[in-house]
Amino acid sequence: MKIWGLRRTFSFVIMDGKSISAKILNDLKDEISSLKMKNYTSSVPTLGYLVNSSNAGSFIYYKKKEKTCHSIGIDTIGYDVIGKNDISELYGHINYLNANTAVNGILVQLPIFPGANEAEILDKVSLEKDIDGLTRKNMGMLFMKNSEPLFYPCTALGVFELIKSYGINPRGLHTVIIGRSNLCGLPLFSMFQKANSTVTMCHTATQNLKQITSQADILVSAAGKANLIREDMVKDGSIVIDIGINKINTGEKSLIVGDVDYERVREKTKFITPVPGGVGPMTIAMLLKNLVKAWKRAQNF
């Protein structure tokens, strides 16, 4: 029954990526120290990195990852390529990190080299150290049937850890994904499809977006557009995952918001991720989880 002005609100659950990622990082810290003790190993899990500090935003983000590494017992070693304009030097650095057995995983913090083909650069990382999961072969293994990648791309993996934490099984549900990036949308397509969800991929050329999102049991927005998802586009009792990170100015101050009109949409949902504090914090935790996985494999743990 629908009565004008009457509105059904659910008791929604806010998916708390901040505290879940903190717990994951704490577990990783314990795992690293206990493995080192049990196995009398002198090996320390080590992240190899390439960063270009001329991009302030990218450098701050790298520094956050570095700090998190150090806080749980992971070493870092790498290069700042600021001021270099020789791509073959960059490839030389990647080759050095590939060959160095003390390095367990390699992070190429994008943007790394102005005007370069990023997929080409990322593809130089060896498969076994590709903790971002973005080499072509790893992506093929993610995409293909009866096949698993060595590493799942971090943001997509973070979404899956998050829904798992809340006991959500996507099997048989209709998942609608907005945005088709290599980092988020495409890996999520593969992961939800392999988890037996029916998956619809929407993007900038999609007609009647509202008609499609209204059917979603799970709606994932990775469009990077504030207020894209309004109340009337969301199904009652659905699960909404917001991967957008958008800077908006409200008078004097600037705010970080997602793609979802959170205040209004949340009352229609069963589960929703906030921005910030939802998927965002999960991403770094998953990078370090992948690194520890690579370290354990290299150590035969």
Q: Which residues are catalytic?
A: 65, 109, 132
Residue 147 found at the interface with a second copy (CB under 8 A): yes
Task: Count CB neighbours of 277 within 10 A.
Answer: 15
Least distance in angstroms from the C-beta of 266 to a second copy: 25
Residue 119 found at the interface with a second copy (CB under 8 A): yes
Residue 140 found at the interface with a second copy (CB under 8 A): yes
Residue 202 found at the interface with a second copy (CB under 8 A): yes
Q: What is the DSSP letter of 260?
A: B
Least distance in angstroms from the C-beta of 239 to a second copy: 16
Least distance in angstroms from the C-beta of 172 to a second copy: 5
Smallest CA-to-CA distance from 197 within 179, 177, 180, 212 is with 177
Whole-number Å distance between alpha carbons of 17 and 278? 4
Q: What one-letter code names the amino acid at 196?
A: N
Least distance in angstroms from the C-beta of 91 to a second copy: 18
- Ordered DSSP codes for 7-18: ------EE--HH
Q: Which is nearer to a second copy, 142 or 240 (CB)?
A: 142
Burial track 248-274 (b if 16+ CB lie within 10 A, e otherwise):
eeeeeeeeebbbbbbeebbbbbbbbbb
Q: Which is nearer to a second copy, 193 or 227 (CB)?
A: 193
Q: Binding residue for a second copy (CB under 8 A) from 46, 68, 109, 135?
A: 135
- Count interface residues toward a second copy (CB under 8 A): 37
Beta strands 198-202 and 174-178, pairing class:
parallel
Q: Binding residue for a second copy (CB under 8 A) from 171, 210, 230, 297?
A: 171
Whole-number Å distance between alpha carbons of 23 and 71? 13
Given the rule CB under 8 A, which of 37-45, 203-211, 225-233, 247-255 is the region that contacts a second copy?
203-211
Tell me the two tokens of residue 230.
Answer: 């309004």
Beta strands 269-272 and 246-250, pairing class:
unpaired
Least distance in angstroms from the C-beta of 209 to a second copy: 9
Whole-number Å distance between alpha carbons of 300 and 221? 38
Whole-number Å distance between alpha carbons of 48 and 41? 20
H helix intervals, 73-125:
87-99, 118-122
Q: Binding residue for a second copy (CB under 8 A) from 63, 137, 164, 210?
A: 137
Residue 63 found at the interface with a second copy (CB under 8 A): no
Task: Sketch the per residue contact string, 172 through 201, with a second copy: x for CB under 8 A, - otherwise.
Answer: xxx-----xxx---x--xx--x--xxxxxx
Whole-number Å distance between alpha carbons of 216 and 110? 32
Task: Sketch the per residue contact string, 205 through 224, with a second copy: x for CB under 8 A, - otherwise.
Answer: xxx----x------------
Omega before 281 cis (within 30°)?
no
Residue 64 found at the interface with a second copy (CB under 8 A): no
Least distance in angstroms from the C-beta of 222 to a second copy: 12
Strand, helix or coil for residue 255: strand
By the criterion CB under 8 A, which residues form the site for a second copy?
Answer: 119, 135-147, 171-174, 180-182, 186, 189-190, 193, 196-203, 205-207, 212
